[in-house]
Every structure is written in C-alpha cells, then in structure tokens.
Amino acid sequence: MLRNIDNFYLQKDEPVKSCLLFLREYILNYDRNITEAWKYRMPFFCYKGKMFCYLWVHKKNGLPYIGIVEGKRIDHPDLIIEDRARMKIMLLDPTADLPMETISTILQIAIGFYN
C-alpha cells in the first residue's frame, strides 16, 4: 500500500507530476540533514527535524511551487508572499527547464536560518 506522501505525487497529471518528483529527489539529496514528512496533508521537508520547505500546486494557476517556511526572512525576486504571513513560494513552470541555480541559492539561504 502506498503512503499518503507517495499518492500525492502519483495523483498529479504530467508535466506537474514529473516536476514535483524531480524536486522531491533534488531537495532530499540537497543536504543530508533534510528529511521528508507528511504534514498538513502535504509533502514537507524538514531540516534537522524542523519544518523547512514543502511542495504544492497553486490553486489558481496550476503551477507547482516550492514553499519556503522562513520565506518572509528572504529577500529574493523569485519568491512571492501572496496572502501568507510567514512563508513565500517560488512558482515553477513544469514545461520549461527548472532554474536550478536559483532553487539552490534559495535553499542555501533558507538552511542558514536553521544553523
């Protein structure tokens, strides 16, 4: 039987599914202190046990995104806050090459808040 977290990814349509699965692996392999968790009925990633980021699909435009828990503390042009108080998101186009350098930069900045 599949776990809820696995079902989350498998129930998505392409190309969103492939994009999210790639991001899942990338984030998990980014740092040995990052682990995966199922919280609030969504896939979260924890850094040293603390909520770090998550993956989701935007309700209005259908684009996948990375949500950064400490996003409000990061000033980066690719992060948007919308109506959130603490978190910011980075919207991604699943039909284009992902901006890996930008994703890496944002993850590295976010990790700095946990050390």
Ordered by start, the domain boundaries in the chain are 4-112
pLDDT given at position 2 = 83
- Asked if pLDDT for residue 100 goes beyond 80, the answer is yes
pLDDT given at position 60 = 93
Sort strands 64-68 and 50-57 into parallel, antiparallel or unpaired.
Answer: antiparallel
- Asked if pLDDT for residue 39 goes beyond 90, the answer is yes
Q: Which CATH class is domain 4-112?
A: alpha beta
**What are the tokens at 94?**
């699943």
Indicate the pLDDT class of residue 31, thresholds 50, 70 and 90.
very high
